[in-house]
Structure 1
Amino acid sequence: MRVIGSPEGRRLHIHLALFDSRRARLAVLDLGPGLKADWREQVRAAWLVAAVNGGFFHPDGCPLGLVIAEGQASNRIETGKPLSGVLYGDARGIHLMRLQAFALYPGIDALIQGGPYLVEAGRAVRIRSRGVSERRTFVETDWRGHWLLGATQEPTLALQTVRDSG
């Protein structure tokens, strides 16, 4: 975990995993519905160097939107305000794109549908806040193979602060 100061003088607690997609692959573990007390053991067993809880869930614990884990799809593509994009991996690398531009094809071995986009084309995207500070997972890329996975209570402020701190 990293604690950094924001330009506004606030302290942000952020869990970060930085990686180069030329040396790392994206993996999705589908742990099934409900809380899994042994998720850390499952991450170790899969030889993953970092893990985050990504995506949204229905009240019954099933994922909201499409999930592909180890090449096996569960659920289906869903539409709705928070589900604006997909993060996925295939033999060519890791990809992040808007849902409208995405087409499902054979060979995708890891995918999670999520959103909302917080930054696009270098600019903050206006999103409606519910006024509640909730822990969120976020992803960022420079489109040159450098990726960042993170988790924090304030992802929009965290992304801006990380970008500004170099």
Structure 2
Amino acid sequence: MMSPRRQPECEGTLSRRGAAARRRWLLVAITGMGAAVSVGLAGCLTRPAEGQDPAPGLSYRRLEIAASAEGDAAELHALRVDPARYRIRLVTAGAGDTATARRLAVSSGALAVINGGFFDEDFRPLGLRVARGRRLRPLRRADWGVFLIRDGHPEIVHTRDYRPEGVSEALQCGPRLVVRGEITRLKQQSAQRACVGIDRQGRVVLAVTRGHDVDATYLARALRRPEEEGGLGCRDALNLDGGPSAQMFVSVGRFRLDLPGTWGVPDGLGVFPR
């Protein structure tokens, strides 16, 4: 990720990192872990049975979606969360540290974790972060969005519309992919993707792609498309950090889904029982 001073206010830095992150990746490869990492990029290490849901209020879907205008296809793995039964909270690795989604889940006790937003070369999150009502990082004046929990209810708002009153959790990233049921204008750029959405019933959707890199507009189409037409039925959706950061981990009873990224991240969104 580029430094905060130079990062554009758009999607253009999804898969880039600073010198510190590149050194870390080189160390992984040199120490012989490159094969394991490549498996992580390719897809799931553990996949649940098709049609299996983790628990009441949690549902899982694996979709095949169009990834580009060239006819490429990718997998979209989605966990749908009922906020009446589960809390969505920001989980962090600690100042200056990173962790995988799996490690964040284990250390926090979360049932599921998806990676969070952008960060700089020193692993400091870029943009607003609020955890349990405490602001950890300030709002960034960027053309991004904010996923938040206000008085127990999920929202996705534009940066300029953010208000702190009643907010217990918040994560800023961008761009917004779907706004009030409409797809936004997005740059033509492909990468592994992670995103958070809110469907028409007010449930939270956490989703990660695997396989072919996905153009942002094609991801938005799958998120917006109604469930009965093979989509996820999101009325609002926000892009999270992608590329090597895109990852999700779910472990609920006998249900287990592990979609690792290439490296750890400083934070993520965790799912906790009420």
TM over 0.5: yes
1:145 is aligned, of 202, 209, 212, to 202
Q: Could you say which residue in structure 1 is the equivalent of 2:136?
A: 74
Displacement of 1:12 in angstroms is: 1.2
Q: Which runs of 5+ in 2 are unaligned?
A: 1-43, 45-61, 232-274
Q: Could you say which residue in structure 1 is the equivalent of 2:48?
A: none
**Correspondences of 1:5-154 after superposition (within 5 Å):** 5-6=65-66, 9-32=71-94, 33-36=96-99, 39-81=101-143, 84-105=144-165, 107-129=166-188, 131=189, 133-152=190-209, 153-154=213-214
Partners of 1:52 and 1:67 in 2: how far apart?
15
Partners of 1:161 and 1:128 in 2: how far apart?
17
Partners of 2:179 and 2:154 in 1: how far apart?
17
Partners of 1:31 and 1:46 in 2: how far apart?
9
Which of structures 1 and 2 has the bigger CA Rg?
2
Match of 1:28, SS state, is strand
- RMSD, aligned α-carbons: 2.5
One-letter amino acid of the counterpart of residue 91, structure 1: D
Partners of 1:128 and 1:158 in 2: how far apart?
12
Partners of 1:88 and 1:5 in 2: how far apart?
27
Displacement of 1:50 in angstroms is: 1.8
Residue deviations 1:50-107 (CA, integer Å, cap 9, x gap):
21112111221101011112333212111124xx2111114332221112111112x4
| Contact residue 77 and residue 113 of structure 1 kept, 8 A | yes
Q: Could you say which residue in structure 1 is the equivalent of 2:218?
A: 157
Residue deviations 1:28-51 (CA, integer Å, cap 9, x gap):
0121334325x5233134332221
One-letter amino acid of the counterpart of residue 145, structure 1: G
Displacement of 1:156 in angstroms is: 3.3
Cα pair distance change 1:97/1:5, threshold 3 Å:
closer
TM-score, length-scaled by structure 1? 0.80
Corresponding residue pairs, total? 160
- Range with bigger deviation, 11-20 or 155-164: 155-164
